[in-house]
Amino acid sequence: MSKVRVLVGTRKGAFILTSDGKRENWDVSGPHFAGWEIYHLKGSPADPNRLYLSQSSGWSGQIMQRSNDGGNTWETVGNKFAYDGVPGTHQWYDGTPHPWEFKRVWHLEPSLTNPDMVYAGVEDAALFVSKDGGQNWQELSGLRRHGSGPYWQPGAGGMCLHTIIQDSSNTRRMYIAISAAGAFRTDDGGKTWRPINQGLRSQYIPDPTAEVGHCVHHIAMHRSRPDVLFMQKHWDVMRTDNAGDLWQEISGNLPTDFGFVIDVHAHEPETIYVVPIKSDSEHFTPDGKLRVYRSRTGGNEWEALTKGLPQADCYVNVLRDAMSVDTLDKCGVYFGTTGGQVYASADAGDTWAPIVRDFPAVLSVEVQTLP
């Protein structure tokens, strides 16, 4: 029977949750790296026991870890993230130039085919790659240097590159997203990049339809349709059917179009999930109800999924990397909250149950479906 491994990054350590294909009973391992912020950990699609983990703290900066046995043991790997050349400046919150400074790794995206190759999205926004299992990192500086970099600005959480999506049908194409710059695409394996933000509209910037400056929170893709992307923006849920050349809004009947996570059903490419969040300053669930919204029509028509989720006095957030799906039939959906709960649905969102209720604030959730 298949097995599921859920990788959870929290404010105070990493946890690994495992279950069989029924997804009813769970074993909890952790905290790994207790006390450290674990922004993200993710397994290699080419070797599921190869995991990469981003560990950081205000005291000692960025540490990188690698596991070759599914998270039972870890080894420290390289943590030198040096920008290529003289990094220059981006805009600070007040609009003044600010030097590019490395702060942390937000997101790790292992190669689809090579367990020793992994991409890292960092703050201040840049994309790095390692081809030796995380020992050494090189910046793919064509992104930062394509021209609009001096106009990028941090969002409230920092100027982070938080989304990295590989196109399995075209190894030279990749998408990334930066808060608050927008989405970008390469068609030559990361050498050159271009903004793909046409159709986005952001009232909080001087030119709402500017080429860059949009606060993209997360992007998701179904691997069978690599030209179709779904985006949760700082207000507005969007989709593109042409690899980002043009976006259209699909917020439809959502109670609020603000949120952080967005994901796609493993077997139904038009079924998508979001968790609406009250904005602008609250950043918790509206009306004290934790509701996942599902669209089976690729957007615009949404249904609230509430069975098993708290529907009173619940005021948590679900951060941008804290939702994932497994590939079992039925598709499992998982998300973690800033209140420390990790919820799972083994029936594509129809019903939910907490795997754990009392973790530190959850920063990221990734799922591996194992044979």
Partner 1 sequence: MIRVVLPPHLRGLAHVSGEVKLDIQGAVTQRSVVDALEERYPMLRGAIRDHVTQKRRPFLRFFACGEDLSHVQPDAPLPEAVASGAEPLLIVGAIAGG
Whole-number minimum distance, CB 61 to partner 1, in Å? 6
Q: Which residues contact 27 (CB under 8 A, 6 or more apart)?
A: 17, 18, 19
Whole-number minimum distance, CB 294 to partner 1, in Å? 35
Whole-number minimum distance, CB 140 to partner 1, in Å? 18
Q: Per residue in 206-221, is it b (16+ CB within 10 Å) or e — as a string?
A: eeeebbbbbbbbbbbb
Euclidean distance between CA atoms 162 and 185, whole angstroms: 14
Please report where in the chains the tokens 């920063």 appear, as a residue: 363
On the question of a cis peptide bond just before residue 207, with omega within 30 degrees of 0, the verdict is no
Closest CA to 39 of 162, 139, 146, 147: 162
- Our CB check for partner 1 shows the closer of 57 and 113 to be 57
Whole-number minimum distance, CB 28 to partner 1, in Å? 20
- Our CB check for partner 1 shows the closer of 100 and 235 to be 100
Whole-number minimum distance, CB 329 to partner 1, in Å? 41
Q: Which residues pair with 32 in a beta bridge?
A: 14
Closest CA to 274 of 342, 339, 320, 223: 320
- Our CB check for partner 1 shows the closer of 100 and 247 to be 100
- Our CB check for partner 1 shows the closer of 34 and 156 to be 34
The DSSP string of 54-105 is: EEEETTTEEEEEEESSTTSS-EEE------SS---EEE-TTSSEEE----EE
Tokens, residue 65: 């870890």
Residues that bind partner 1 (CB under 8 A): 33-36, 57-63, 76, 79-82, 102
- Our CB check for partner 1 shows the closer of 63 and 314 to be 63
- Our CB check for partner 1 shows the closer of 65 and 240 to be 65
Whole-number minimum distance, CB 59 to partner 1, in Å? 4
- Our CB check for partner 1 shows the closer of 124 and 263 to be 124
The DSSP string of 327-362 is: -SSSPPEEEE-TTS-EEEESSTTSS-EEEES-PSPE
Whole-number minimum distance, CB 66 to partner 1, in Å? 12
Q: Per residue in 12-25, is it b (16+ CB within 10 Å) or e — as a string?
A: bbbbbbbbebebee
- Our CB check for partner 1 shows the closer of 138 and 209 to be 138
